[in-house]
């Protein structure tokens, strides 16, 4: 693929540089915020090499490319110059801005979190295999060091999120990271976990553990961005390099620990409480709903609002089931795509379905399956939703949990083996029903096939 040519063609087809307010990318999509979406030539873009589909959702013009999206994005970075004036012309509503902000904050760290989950799964499997032979690897220094590497990203989450949040809110990255580092500092941890009360400037502080926290630092960096802008306006140019970051920390450290940190902790607890409340009400319905609707949320970009729940649960409690249920959806999409491959007589569609099924099964990347065949053919998407809902309900009924945040696929199966063989078997049963159910339904009930001469 000529990524430079693809990038140039995409830029021209979306209306040129002057029509772009902002742009970014996730795992499989280029995401454009355009001044006038009607100027974008959707049909032309869909015919470009490497483009799977075009979706308009959440105030964004999204071009689905697949796992090679990063290479196209890098070429676009060389071509696109988004000015401040263009950004001011954005007419996105608050909900769209919130979803985009969440995505931009969390998307960069998901690969590292997924790698952590994959490694933890390997350690879990190794621990189980050695224990079955009467051994114990948990006492070895090798295991301890490797385990630390899987937990480090969560322990220092405030520092990592401080960096990504500063990019979104336009705050100084290193001042934000210093604020996040303060929240993880050993002396602060000791104060927060000690028996004595803690106060700043005579004001008693709500004691809370900020290591592994998610929302407090995001809220803190959001406020920091406004403090920084205010200081830049009132401080003389010659003194800005020292006084702006200095006063920013002087203001934000006490403000975070006295006001915004506790608020963030309460918000995080409220979100977890709401999700756990759904689980308490009916684990079967909760699992079925997430398992069935997750990939529908993906189509509209709404799944981004749910990802922090899983990250927050792993950070605070060391376990999550959100992605277990989402895994049912992932495998059902892969199964439906496999069914399309086995059923269709269109050679081009057969190739697309086969290549789309593989990433869904191996690593839970479902966009190629969704946009390449399932959603386009309609019925396979319905079969996937039904099968994913049944698989998710099975997991919910059995109380399946994972000990890491990892996108569901064959490569991360061991993540769900940490809480006993019985629950792990129900996890395998859930994804098995999702995958094979979608495959069988697609083959038996079929879909309206695409003629060989038609372009896919």
Contacts of 180 (CB under 8 A, 6+ apart): 156, 158, 159, 160, 161, 162, 163, 217, 220, 221
Strand partners, 137: none
Task: Calculate helix-pair angle for 69-79, 3-13, nearest 10 degrees.
Answer: 60
- The token pair at 53 is 């589909």
| CB 331, CB 431: distance < 8 Å | yes
Neighbours of 196 (CB within 10 A): 7
- Residue whose token pair is 């904050």: 105
CA distances to 57, 100, 172, 191, 374 from 194, rounded to whole Å, are: 48, 39, 32, 5, 55
- Residue whose token pair is 């939703």: 385
* Phi, psi torsion values for 318, nearest 5 degrees: 75, 15
Strand pairing report for 29-34 and 20-25: antiparallel
- Positive or negative, the CA dihedral 7, 11, 14, 17 is positive
Q: Does the annotation count 295 as an active-site position?
A: no
C-alpha to C-alpha distance for 352 and 266, rounded to whole angstroms: 46
Neighbours of 214 (CB within 10 A): 26
C-alpha to C-alpha distance for 388 and 394, rounded to whole angstroms: 10
Residue 259, burial from CB neighbour count under 10 angstroms (0-12, 13-18, 19+): middle
**DSSP code of residue 259:** I
C-alpha to C-alpha distance for 231 and 239, rounded to whole angstroms: 11
**DSSP code of residue 208:** -
Nearest 10 degrees: Cα torsion 415, 418, 420, 424: 0
C-alpha to C-alpha distance for 138 and 439, rounded to whole angstroms: 40
C-alpha to C-alpha distance for 157 and 166, rounded to whole angstroms: 14
- The token pair at 241 is 């390099």
By annotation, the residues acting in catalysis are: 26
């Amino acid at each position: 693929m000529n990524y430079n040519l693809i990038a140039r063609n995409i830029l021209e087809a979306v209306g040129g540089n002057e029509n772009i307010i902002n742009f970014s990318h996730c795992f499989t999509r280029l995401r454009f915020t355009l001044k006038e979406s009607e100027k974008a030539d959707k049909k032309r873009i869909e015919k470009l090499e490497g483009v799977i589909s075009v979706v308009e959702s959440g105030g964004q013009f999204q071009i689905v490319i697949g796992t090679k999206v990063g290479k196209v994005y890098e070429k676009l970075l060389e071509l696109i110059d988004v000015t401040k004036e263009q950004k001011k012309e954005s007419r996105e509503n608050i909900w769209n801005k919130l979803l985009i902000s969440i995505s931009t904050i969390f998307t960069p760290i998901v690969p590292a979190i997924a790698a952590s989950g994959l490694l933890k799964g390997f350690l879990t499997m190794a621990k189980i295999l050695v224990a079955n032979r009467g051994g114990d690897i948990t006492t070895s220094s090798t295991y301890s060091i490797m385990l630390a590497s899987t937990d480090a990203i969560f322990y220092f989450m405030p520092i990592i999120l401080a960096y990504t949040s500063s990019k979104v809110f336009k705050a100084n990255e290193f001042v934000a990271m210093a604020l996040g580092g303060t929240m993880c500092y050993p002396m602060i941890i000791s104060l927060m976990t000690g028996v004595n009360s803690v106060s700043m400037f005579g004001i008693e502080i709500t004691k809370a553990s900020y290591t592994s926290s998610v929302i407090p630092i995001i809220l803190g960096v959001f406020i920091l961005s406004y403090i920084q802008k205010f200081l830049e306006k009132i401080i003389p140019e010659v003194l800005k390099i020292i006084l702006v970051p200095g006063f920013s920390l002087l203001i934000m450290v006490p403000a975070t620990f006295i006001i915004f940190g506790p608020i963030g902790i309460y918000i995080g607890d409220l979100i977890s409480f709401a999700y756990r409340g759904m689980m308490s009400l009916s684990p079967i319905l909760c699992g079925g709903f997430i398992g069935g609707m997750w990939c529908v949320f993906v189509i509209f970009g709404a799944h981004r609002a749910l990802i922090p729940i899983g990250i927050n649960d792993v950070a605070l409690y060391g376990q999550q089931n959100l992605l277990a249920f989402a895994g049912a959806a992932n495998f059902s999409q892969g199964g439906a795509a496999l069914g399309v491959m086995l059923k269709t007589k269109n050679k081009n569609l057969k190739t697309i379905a086969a290549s789309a099924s593989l990433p869904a099964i191996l690593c839970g990347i479902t966009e190629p399956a969704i946009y390449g065949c399932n959603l386009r053919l309609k019925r396979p998407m319905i079969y996937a939703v039904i099968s994913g809902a049944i698989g998710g309900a099975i997991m919910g009924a059995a109380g399946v949990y994972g000990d890491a945040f990892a996108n569901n696929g064959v490569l991360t199966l061991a993540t769900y083996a940490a809480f006993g063989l019985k629950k792990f078997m129900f996890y395998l049963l859930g994804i098995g029903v999702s995958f094979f159910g979608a495959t069988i339904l697609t083959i038996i009930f079929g879909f309206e096939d695409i003629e060989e001469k038609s372009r896919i």
